[in-house]
Amino acid sequence: MPRKFIELSEKIEYLSILDENAKVDEALEPKLSGEQLKTIYRYMLLARRTDERLLLMQRQGRLGTFPQSSGHEAVSMGAAFAITADDWQVPAYRELPGMLYRGWSIDHFMLYWNGFEEGARVPDNVKDLPICVPIATQLLHAVGIGMGMNIRGEKNVVLTFFGDGASSEGDCHEALNFASVFSAPVVFVCLNNQYAISVPLSRQMHSETIAQRAVGYAMPGIRVDGNDVLAVYVATKEAVERARSGGGPTLVEGLTYRLTPHTTADDPKRYRSDEEYQLWLSREPLKRFRRYLEKKGLLNDKDHERLEAELDSEIKQAMERTEAQIKAEDLKNPTSMFDHLYKDIPPTLQNQRDEFARYWESRHKASDKQNPQKSGARTD
């Protein structure tokens, strides 16, 4: 028999609505109200200013090592704005804007990156999973939630995030395959900032896009301008509506760039050129979206000054609350690390908790004997 080709009709679309000069394609512009647009900008700006403040705290020794979100605001916020409060969000670790919008406080992030598990406690009535640092593992959790929704007959959607480096992990491909096979209502959003720490995209894969990987899993895939919050919103909204109506998963790739090191322990000057950085800085999401709002008459310089002052006060209050909480007695007992993961702690972990609690108590009794004044014991 002669060789023959299997015809594949899938093509990968690239979507951009608002370019770096704030020129908008009116035919593609989403129908969002002025208040909705201002809300999107508020949380993008809040995330940027929080990110900057956390960096200062880290450099002062008041915060641990953490990954910044600056430059990723459009992907996170544009996608999160496309789901409802009844839908689920499963983040990685650069989703600060969307998580703030969904109801997480700045305090959570300050606690979390200081090593306190209290920062991973999901706020009441928020259908999110906590920050996930292990690469790509959260994608399997997202698919599990989506499969559970199908079993229960629920019409909700799961929105989950991962980076370009995570797209090369086995967990990512397992998640995409299971989501496709079981038509799980999951929207996979890839923050393609073009570097897996220091490894450029060209050395991670030979495919032109990450979105085209969707073809292998028989799901729709689309690449969007990840610095264009309108494009991210439109692409995610379409994927969410498709998933909610039973159309299964979608892979959305947001092409963006880190404006910061991978984490505060990284030096990107060792693997990125200044020319490349300056090029992508000119495309960054906040400036173009601000200009877009100004052109629409929704924002002026005075409005922006008021907003900056409001957000600055909000961040400072969070810093004061968090640092006061860290000094409080209830955060000084590390047994709390067992308390913020499971609703019902498994017996094996309960045994470990009990063992550690006994050790911790004995350590403090020994410390009190050596320092009776510190324990409050009488010395007369």
Residue position matching structure tokens 């590390």: 334
pLDDT of residue 7: 73
240-253 pLDDT tens trace? 999 999 999 999 99
In contact, 101 and 77? CB cutoff 8 Å: yes
Residues 110 and 139: their CA atoms lie apart, in Å, by 25
Catalytic residue among 48, 49, 262, 283: 262
Residue position matching structure tokens 């799901």: 219
Read off φ and ψ for residue 192, nearest 5 degrees: -85, 90
pLDDT of residue 379: 39
In contact, 145 and 88? CB cutoff 8 Å: yes
Percent of the chain whose predicted confidence (pLDDT) is above 90: 86
Helix axes 34-59, 73-80, angle to 10 degrees: 130
Q: What is the DSSP letter of 335?
A: G
135-164 pLDDT tens trace? 999 999 999 999 999 999 999 999 999 999
Arithmetic mean of pLDDT, 335-363 = 89
Q: Is 258 a catalytic residue?
A: yes
Which range among 112-126, 244-258, 335-349 shows the weakest confidence by mean pLDDT? 335-349
Which pLDDT band holds residue 378 (cuts at 50, 70, 90)?
A: very low
pLDDT at 283 over 90: yes
pLDDT of residue 376: 46
Q: What is the DSSP letter of 201?
A: H
Catalytic residue among 72, 108, 242, 258: 258
- What pairs with residue 90 in β-bridges? 160
Tokens encoding 274: 């200044």
pLDDT at 374 over 80: no
pLDDT of residue 369: 64
Given the candidates 3.40.190.10, 3.40.50.970, 3.10.180.10, 3.40.50.2300, the CATH classification of the domain at 13-327 is 3.40.50.970
Which range among 4-13, 201-210, 305-314 shows the weakest confidence by mean pLDDT? 4-13
215-246 pLDDT tens trace? 999 999 999 999 999 999 999 999 999 999 99
Which pLDDT band holds residue 17 (cuts at 50, 70, 90)?
A: very high
Burial category of 152 from C-beta neighbours within 10 Å (exposed 0-12, middle 13-18, buried 19 and up)? exposed
In contact, 226 and 37? CB cutoff 8 Å: no
pTM score of the predicted model: 0.92
Q: Is 262 a catalytic residue?
A: yes
pLDDT of residue 329: 64
Q: Is 62 a catalytic residue?
A: no
CA distances 253 to 12, 191, 346, 377, Å, are 11, 6, 37, 62
Which pLDDT band holds residue 361 (cuts at 50, 70, 90)?
A: confident
pLDDT of residue 11: 83
pLDDT at 186 over 60: yes
Looking at every residue in the chain, the average pLDDT score rounds to: 93
pLDDT of residue 6: 73
Cβ-based neighbour number of residue 54 at 10 Å = 23
pLDDT of residue 219: 96
Percent of the chain whose predicted confidence (pLDDT) is above 70: 95
Residues 140 and 138: their CA atoms lie apart, in Å, by 5
Catalytic residue among 271, 306, 342, 363: 271
Arithmetic mean of pLDDT, 80-103 = 98
Which pLDDT band holds residue 372 (cuts at 50, 70, 90)?
A: low
Delimit the domains of the chain by residue range: 13-327, 333-375
pLDDT at 1 over 80: no
